[in-house]
Each structure stands twice: as structure tokens, then as C-alpha cells.
Amino acid sequence: MSKEKAYKLLALQENISNNKAKELIDRGLVYVGDKKVKIARADIDDDTRFRIEMPQDISIIYEDDLIVAVDKPSFVESYDVEKIMPNLKLLHRLDRETSGVLLLSKDEAFTKEAIEAFKQKKVIKDYVAWVDGIIYEEQEIDVPITTIKKGGAAFSKVDVKNGKPAHTTIKPLEVQGKKSKIDIRIDTGRTHQIRVHLAHAGYPIVGDEKYGSRTKAKRILLHAKRISLLGYDFTSPEPKDIARYK
């Protein structure tokens, strides 16, 4: 059986350009069965059949003269949401594979006020996730985090000596086999905080291979379900892959 570069084979199958095929693979949208194709230039059997899973449309949860709350699908960059909504400014960001509530501001003065609220830890941020391992009781994870940024990518780790303070509270919701569904609240907003803290506690998020999960999934099973700031309170319903694990 002969081999072909993954992006070239995808381009042929979908009748798209090589560059478009590379982009789809790099964005994490291309699968063979339940496995994500991670390397566009990987050699792959030429009879392989791909599946492309495009993100859902971005829906607006709420909008007024100051703020817009959107329901961000997984596999959409926060900055891409900002780009398609002209004259709006992101107030925070979610990782590409994380779904849920994302806030943008329409007003410069409101933006400054909101950013200050984040700095002063006056913002409530609640998430829900499926993790490896069994969690029976509420736990607090209070260990500092350091983030290393290189080549446009970020990696965070627990660093007791030099890290910045980070606090996460988790509560069990459901246990299914050796997986747990949990509520998460963060008082700080370090890069990849939830992912790093849960991995450190021995409960990596399902699908988060970067931080130690051995369970394959179509994406990292983390959803930003609620955010509250400056008198506003927004929620996002759980998508199907979060509401029910397989």
C-alpha cells in the first residue's frame, strides 16, 4: 500500500487546495475515525478516508450598548471571534478547544472597568469538565503557575518558587466508569490554569494530551458555562459532548 502526505490526500479527497487542507489539519478539524490528524505532512495510507468537523456557528447570548456575550464553539480561536465582530474588544479569552461564554466590549471606558474587575478578582468564572479519575468530594487547588511562551504556543506548569498565584475549586457532579464530571471555579486567570491544576491534582481533562490525559477525545472536554462581572451574569448551555460523556 502506498503512502501520501496527509494534507495532499485531504486536498484530493475534498477538492481543495493544499494550503486549505493544511489549515484544516492545523486547526484540529480533521479526523480519521475518532482520531485527530495532528501532522499535516505525516505520511498516511493513500486509501485513508478523512472526516472534517467544522465548528458550529457563533451565537450571541446577550448584547447591549456596552457588552456582547457570545457562545464560542470549540475549535474557534477567541481572537477570530474578535475579528469577525468589528469594533469590539475581547475582555478575556478561552483556549481554542474550550467552548462556552466569551465576552467582548463595545465601549472603551467599560473595557477598562472590566479589565480592572478581572485584575481585582471580582469576576466569577465557572466551568464544567470531564476528567480522568474519580472525584468524590470538593477540593481546592492552590499552587502557583508559570507560563512559557515560544513560537506562538504556550505551556504552563506548577512552579512553587517562581510562579504566580493561582486558585481553583472543583466539585464532583457525576462519575462514569473511571471518569468524573466536575464543576470548576477559578479565582485567577492564569494561562491554562484549569488544565495545569487538574493535571497536577492527578485528574487531567479528558482529551488534554498536552497535560497528561491518556484518554482520546475529539477535543479537550472543558466548557465555560458561566461568567459574572459588573452586574452582568451570563450562562452557556452544556454542549452534547459535555452534557453526556459517551
The pLDDT value recorded for residue 1 is: 66
35, 87: one domain:
no
The pLDDT value recorded for residue 137 is: 94
32, 108: one domain:
no
77, 27: one domain:
no
124, 236: one domain:
yes
pLDDT in tens, 207-223: 999 999 999 888 999 99
Average pLDDT over residues 91-111: 94
| Domains of the chain: total | 2
Rounded distance between C-alpha atoms, residue 115 and residue 11, angstroms: 43
pLDDT bracket for residue 85 (50, 70, 90): confident
Sequence length of the chain is 246
Number of H helices, E strands in the chain: 6, 17
Q: List the domain range (segments joined by +) for residue 162.
A: 59-243
Has residue 181 got a pLDDT over 70?
A: yes
Has residue 55 got a pLDDT over 80?
A: no
Comparing 53 with 146, which gets the higher pLDDT? 146
pLDDT in tens, 116-157: 999 898 999 999 999 999 999 999 999 999 998 877 778 888
The pLDDT value recorded for residue 69 is: 96
28, 72: one domain:
no
Residues above pLDDT 70, as percent of the chain: 98
18, 112: one domain:
no
- Kindly list the catalytic residues: 95
Comparing 85 with 237, which gets the higher pLDDT? 237
30, 85: one domain:
no
